[in-house]
C-alpha cells in the first residue's frame, strides 16, 4: 500500500489537472475529489455551460479508467442504463449484454430529464454496486463513481429526483457562474484547445483505479477522535430537532419537515476523512466536518412551508444550525 506522502502526490496531481481543465471552479474540483475518495457519488447542480460535463470528463481522463456518459432523456428505458438479457438466435439462449452503468466512472447527464422508473434503475447500482436483470445480479467494478448533473432553472420536461435516490448521492454540489477573470481565462483556454486539437489528443492518465482504491482505504484509516464523532452525530440530530439547538424562539420550531437520514451520518464521516486526506493530514478535525457539511446535508433536508415563506433556504438553515453547535 502507498504511504501517505506518495498518496498526497497523487492527490496534488489530480487537483492540478482538474483546476487546469475547469477554470474558476476550485470548490467543484475539491468536492469532486472528496466524493471520489469518500467512495460515494456526487450530484452537480447548476446552470448550463459551467463545465459540469467537462469536470466529469477531466476526472475520467486523469484516471486510467473506463468512462461512460449516459444522456438522460424522457424516452430512456431502465434497460438502456443497466443492460438487458438479449436472445441469441444461434444458441437459443438469453445472454446478458451490459449497459453503460457497468463502467468505473459514469456521467449521468441531465439526470432529471428521465422519468422516475429510469432514475430508480440507478438505486441498486449506487447503493449496492450491483445491477439485477431478470434472476441474475451482476457486480459493478471495485471503483464505481457516478457523477450526475442537473439544471435547476429548467422545469419543462424534467422529473424531480425521488428522495430515496437523492439520499444515495453522498454530496450535492451547487455551482454558480465564474467571475470575470476566470471567464476570460476560459475563453483563451478553449481557443487554444481548438487551435491544437488533433485526432488523438486524450491526455495521459495520472493514476490507476488501484490508486483511488488505496486513497479510499487510507481515508478510512485516518484517526478520528470520539469528540469529532459526537460532533458529526449532533449535526445530524440538529436537522431532525432544530428547536433543541436554535434556542427557545418559537419561530424556529417549525422550519424543517424532514431531517437527514442515518446515511448522512455515514457520509459526513467519510467525507470529513476524505477532506482531511486531501489536506495532507492523517487525522480528522471539526473543521473537516464543517467543510463538507453543506454538500452532504443540503439534499437530505426538507424545509417546511413556513421556512420557505420566510425566504429561508436549506443552506440558510444548515448554516444557522452549524453555528449553534460547538465542537466538543
Compute the average pLDDT of residues 270-285.
Answer: 94
Categorize the per-residue pLDDT at 278 as very low, low, confident or very high, splitting at 50, 70 and 90.
very high
**Region 145-159 average pLDDT:** 79
Residue ranges of E strands in 73-189: 83-88, 93-98, 105-109, 130-133, 136-139, 145-150, 171-174
Going by C-alpha positions, the residue among 162, 70, 163 that lies closest to residue 110 is 70
- Higher-confidence residue of 327 and 35: namely 35
194: in domain: no
Q: What DSSP assignment string belongs to 245-302?
A: TS-S-GGGTTSEEE---HHHHHHHHHHHHHHHHHTT-SB--HHHHHHHHHHHHTTT-E
Per-residue pLDDT band for 135 (boundaries 50, 70, 90) equals: confident
Could you tell me the CATH number of the domain that includes residue 229? 1.10.8.80
Residue 244 resides in a domain: yes
Domain identity same for 243 and 134: no
Instruction: Quote the pLDDT of residue 239.
Output: 92
Q: Within this chain, do residues 116 and 228 fall inside the same structural domain, yes or no?
A: no
Residue 2 has a pLDDT of 55
**Beta bridge pairs of residue 4:** none
Domain shared by 133 and 270, yes or no: no
Q: Which residue segment(s) compose the domain that 280 sits in?
A: 222-324
> Do 230 and 132 have their domain in common?
no
Domains: count for the chain: 2
Name residues whose C-beta falls within 8 Å of residue 286's C-beta, 6 or more positions apart in sequence.
Answer: 228, 231, 327
Residue 196 lies in a domain: no
Whether residue 21 lies inside any domain: the answer is yes
Structural domain contains residue 217: no
Nearest to 126 by CA among 165, 70, 160: 165
Alpha-carbon distance 288 to 277, whole Å? 10
- pLDDT tens-digit series, residues 169-226: 999 998 878 778 878 887 887 787 777 665 556 667 889 999 999 999 999 999 999 9
Residue 207 lies in a domain: no
66 plus 149 within the same structural domain: yes
Shared domain check, 154 and 18: yes
Residue 1 has a pLDDT of: 46
Residue 91 has what pLDDT? 86
- Judgement on whether residues 13 and 156 belong to the same structural domain of the protein: yes
The predicted model scores a pTM of 0.89
**Is residue 105 a contact partner of residue 212, using CB atoms and an 8 Å limit?**
no
Indicate if 30 and 163 belong to the same structural domain.
yes
Domain with 114 in it: what CATH number?
Answer: 3.40.50.300
- All three cell numbers of 23: 477554470
pLDDT at 323 over 70: yes
Residues 45, 29, 317, 309: what is their CA dihedral angle, to the nearest 10 degrees? -20
Amino acid at each position: 500500500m502507498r504511504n501517505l506522502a506518495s498518496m498526497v502526490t497523487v492527490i496534488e496531481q489530480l487537483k492540478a489537472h482538474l483546476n487546469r481543465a475547469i477554470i474558476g471552479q476550485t470548490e467543484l474540483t475539491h468536492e469532486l475529489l472528496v466524493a471520489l475518495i469518500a467512495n460515494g457519488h456526487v450530484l452537480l447542480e447548476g446552470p448550463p455551460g459551467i463545465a459540469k460535463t467537462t469536470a466529469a470528463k477531466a476526472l475520467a481522463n486523469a484516471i486510467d479508467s473506463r468512462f461512460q456518459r449516459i444522456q438522460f432523456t424522457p424516452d430512456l428505458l431502465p434497460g438502456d442504463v443497466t443492460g438487458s438479457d438479449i436472445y441469441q438466435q444461434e444458441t437459443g439462449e438469453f445472454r446478458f449484454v451490459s449497459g453503460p452503468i457497468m463502467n468505473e466512472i459514469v456521467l449521468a447527464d441531465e439526470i432529471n430529464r428521465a422519468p422516475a422508473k429510469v432514475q430508480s434503475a440507478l438505486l441498486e447500482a449506487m447503493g449496492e454496486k450491483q445491477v439485477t436483470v431478470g434472476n441474475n445480479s451482476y457486480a459493478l467494478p471495485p471503483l464505481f463513481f457516478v457523477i450526475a448533473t442537473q439544471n435547476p432553472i429548467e422545469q419543462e420536461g424534467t422529473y424531480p429526483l425521488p428522495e430515496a435516490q437523492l439520499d444515495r448521492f453522498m454530496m450535492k454540489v451547487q455551482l454558480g457562474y465564474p467571475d470575470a477573470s476566470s471567464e476570460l481565462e476560459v475563453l483563451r483556454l478553449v481557443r487554444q484547445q481548438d487551435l491544437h486539437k488533433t485526432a488523438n489528443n486524450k491526455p495521459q492518465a495520472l493514476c490507476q483505479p488501484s490508486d483511488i482504491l488505496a486513497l479510499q482505504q487510507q481515508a478510512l484509516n485516518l484517526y478520528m477522535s470520539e469528540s469529532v464523532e459526537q460532533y458529526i452525530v449532533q449535526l445530524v440530530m440538529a436537522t431532525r430537532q432544530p428547536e433543541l439547538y436554535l434556542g427557545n424562539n418559537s419561530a424556529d420550531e417549525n422550519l424543517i419537515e424532514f431531517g437527514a437520514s442515518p446515511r448522512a451520518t455515514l457520509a459526513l464521516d467519510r467525507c470529513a476523512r476524505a477532506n482531511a486526506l486531501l489536506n495532507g493530514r492523517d487525522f480528522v478535525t471539526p473543521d473537516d466536518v464543517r467543510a463538507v457539511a453543506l454538500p452532504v446535508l443540503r439534499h437530505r433536508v426538507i424545509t417546511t412551508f413556513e421556512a420557505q415563506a420566510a425566504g429561508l433556504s436549506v443552506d440558510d438553515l444548515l448554516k444557522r444550525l452549524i453555528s449553534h453547535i460547538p465542537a466538543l
